[in-house]
Chains A and B, each alone.
Chain A
C-alpha cells in the first residue's frame, strides 16, 4: 500500500523493467530473424542453384557461379520432347487420381478407426500398423511381380494402386487423429435430427474435417508428384513419369545437367503452386 502511495519503488522498478524490455524483445527479434534467414537459405540455396543451372547453357553448368551467359533454350529443348510432356501429364493425372482415391478410402478408414470399436477396426488397425512397419523399399520388388502378373505393369493402375495403398497406411492414422478431435455428439445430434449413421458422417463429420482433409490432400498430392522409387520400378516407356524422365538425363553418353535442371524447375512449378495455395490449410489442418 505504502509503495503504491509514495510511488517511488514502483516507478523505478518500472523504469528498469522498461529499459530491459525495450532491449530484450528487439534483440530476440533480431536473433530470431537471423535464425529464420539461415534456415530459409539452407533450404532455398539448392533450389536457387537448380534454377541457375537450368538457365545456363550445357557447357556452363559446372561454372554456374562464374558464368554470365543465361538462356531459356534448355526449357525449349525439354518441352519440345514428347516424353517430357507425356510425363508431365501422367504425373499430374496419377497425383490427382491417387489423391482422390486415397482420400476417399482414408476418410472412411480414419472415421472407422476413430469411432468404432470391435474386431473389424482392430484388425484393420493392426494391418495398417504391420504395413507401416515394413520398409518402403521392400515393397518394390513384390509390387513389380504383382503388377506384371496382373498385367497392369507400366499402366496408370499399376502405379495408382501401390500409391493409394501406401497413402491409406500413412494417412489413416492422421485422419483418425482429425476425427478424434471432432466431437462425436455432433453426429449423435445429426442422427437424432434425421440422419442415418452414414448421413451423419457425410453431412456433419466430413464438413467438420475439411481443414484436415485439405491438408491431407495437399500432402498426398505432393508426395505422389515427388515420388521416384515406385515410378522407376513400376513404369517403363508406356507411362513415363516426370521424376523418372528427369533421372534419364543421366545416361551412357553423359549427364545433361542443364536439361535435368530445366525439367526439375518445370516440375517445381505445380508443386510450388499447390504448396503456396495450400500452406495455410496444411498448417490449420495439422493443428486440429
Chain B
C-alpha cells in the first residue's frame, strides 16, 4: 500500500507535448480515475507511472520514493491492460505465477498465492487452460488475478473494460467495485467512459489535451464543474450550453440570446456583476429542466419548440429548440405525448444554472 505523488510531470515527444505539468496526489488506498477523450494524455500519464514511458519533466513518487529512473519491475506496481496482455503461450496458472517466479518466490508460496487469487476471482476451473480458450470476461479476470497475486503497492488500470461488450462491462464494473472492498489497494484507473469514472472513482481527474482540468469526487465534478469541458464530459445526456449576453437592470441580471431571455435576481449571482455587457455561457443539465412554468421565484422559465422526442421506456428525452440552439430535456414522463413542432414551457431552478466563460 502506498500513495502516488506526481509533481509537475511532463511528457514530450519532440516538439509535441503530450502531458503538461500534471501534479496529483493519490492517497493510500484511494481509487483515482483519469478520464478524458482520446489523446488527452491519460494513458501516457499512467504509462509514466508504470515506467513504460520516460518522464520528460517533474517527478513521480510511489510510497515516498521517487521512481523516475526505476525500471517498471522495480516500482512494485501491477497493471491491467485494455487487451488483457496475457502470455498466450502459458497456461492461466503460469500467467498468474509469472511475476512471482521472476522474483524467485519459492514454488509452494507461488502455488498458494495463485490458488488464493483464483479463488478470489472465481477462476479456479480455468487454471489449466490457455488464454486463447477463455472468453473476454474470463481473460480480464485472469489479468486482474495476475495483479492480485503479487500484492503490489499500486494497481494501474489502462481502460481494462473497453474491450468487453456493454453487458459484461457493467458486470465487470460491479466486480471491480467488490474486489476493491476486499483488496483496498491504491489504484489509478484510466478510461474514456465517464460512467466508469463516476461509478468507480473515489476521485476523478478530468484531462484534455495533456492538461488536468479538474480533480474532485464524482459529485463535485457533477455539481461544480470548473469549466465547460468538464461540464460537458461528466453527466449523461451531456449538459446543455447557451451563450448569452449579460445585462443589468435594477436588481436583475438579464441573460439573453435569440429566443431566450432569463431574468435572475442579482443578489443571488454576485459573480455575474463583472460580466455585465459581456457574453457568458449558461450550462443546464437535462435532468434539471422541468416541463411547465416556473413554480416559484427560485426558478426561471423559458419557452421552446419540441424538435425530437427520444423514448427510453422509463423516461423521454426531448430535444427542444430555444431560438437558434437545441437543448435536451431529460426525465420527461414517458406517457406524455408531445408532437414535433409543439410549443412548450420549461423551468429550471436558478441554483442549478452553471456559468462558464463564453467560447
The residues of A with any CB-CB pair to B shorter than 8 Å are: 183, 185-186, 188-196, 199, 204, 207-208, 210
Cβ contact of A208, chosen from B51, B77, B83, B89, cutoff 8 A: B89
Assess whether A189 is in contact with B83, with CB atoms less than 8 Å apart.
no
B146 touches A207 (CB 8 A): no
- Chain A residues with CB under 8 Å of B327's CB are none
> Shortest distance in angstroms between A191's beta carbon and chain B's nearest beta carbon?
5
B40 interfacial contact with A, CB 8 Å: no
Bound Cα distance from A195 to B87, whole angstroms: 13
**Residues of B that sit less than 8 Å from A by CB:** 50-52, 71-73, 75, 77-79, 81-83, 85-89, 98-99, 102-103, 146, 150
Residues B89 and A192 in contact, CB atoms below 8 Å apart: no
Q: Which residues of B contact A196 (CB under 8 A)?
A: 71, 73
In the complex, which residues of chain A have a beta carbon less than 8 angstroms from the beta carbon of B146?
189, 193
How far is B52's CA from A193's CA once the two chains are assembled, in angstroms? 12
Instruction: Knowing A183-B85, A193-B73, A194-B73, say if A188 contacts B52 (CB, 8 Å).
Output: yes
- Contact present for B71 and A188 (CB under 8 Å): no
Q: Is the CB of B85 within 8 A of A186?
A: yes
Distance in Å from the Cβ of B115 to the closest Cβ of chain A?
A: 19
**A191→B72 contact, CB < 8 A:** yes
Residues of A within 8 A of B71 (CB): 191, 196
Q: A188-B52, A195-B102 are in contact. List 19 more A-B contacts (CB 8 A).
A: A185-B85, A188-B50, A189-B79, A189-B85, A189-B87, A190-B98, A191-B71, A192-B51, A192-B52, A192-B72, A192-B75, A192-B79, A193-B73, A194-B73, A194-B98, A195-B73, A196-B73, A204-B87, A207-B87
**Separation in Å of the B311 CB from the closest CB of chain A?**
26
- Most chain A C-beta atoms within 10 Å of own C-beta, residue among B51, B83, B87, B88: B87
Instruction: Please indicate the chain A residues that have their CB under 8 angstroms from the CB of B79 in the complex.
Output: 188-189, 192
Identify which of B71, B72, B77, B82 gathers the most chain A CB atoms within 10 Å of its CB.
B72
List residues of chain A with CB within 8 A of the CB of B89. Answer: 207-208, 210
Nearest 5 A-B pairs (CB), nearest first?
A194-B102, A193-B99, A185-B85, A189-B85, A207-B89
Q: How far, in whole Å, are A210 and B90 apart by their CA atoms in the complex? A: 13
Rounded to whole Å, the gap between the CB of A183 and the closest CB of chain B is 6
Q: B87 to chain A: which residues have CB within 8 Å?
A: 186, 189-190, 204, 207-208
Contact, CB under 8 Å: B83 / A183: yes
* Chain A residue contacts of B86, Cβ below 8 A: 186, 189
Contact B72 A188, beta carbon cutoff 8 Å: yes
Q: How far is the CB of A192 from chain B (nearest CB, A)?
A: 5
Q: CA–CA, A24 to B258, complex, Å?
A: 68
Structural contact, A194 and B99, CB atoms closer than 8 A: yes
**Residue numbers in B under 8 Å from A204 (CB-CB):** 87
Question: Looking across the interface, which residue of chain B has its beta carbon closest to that of A194?
Answer: B102
Distance between B261 CB and nearest chain A CB, rounded to angstroms? 55
B109 to chain A, nearest CB (A): 15
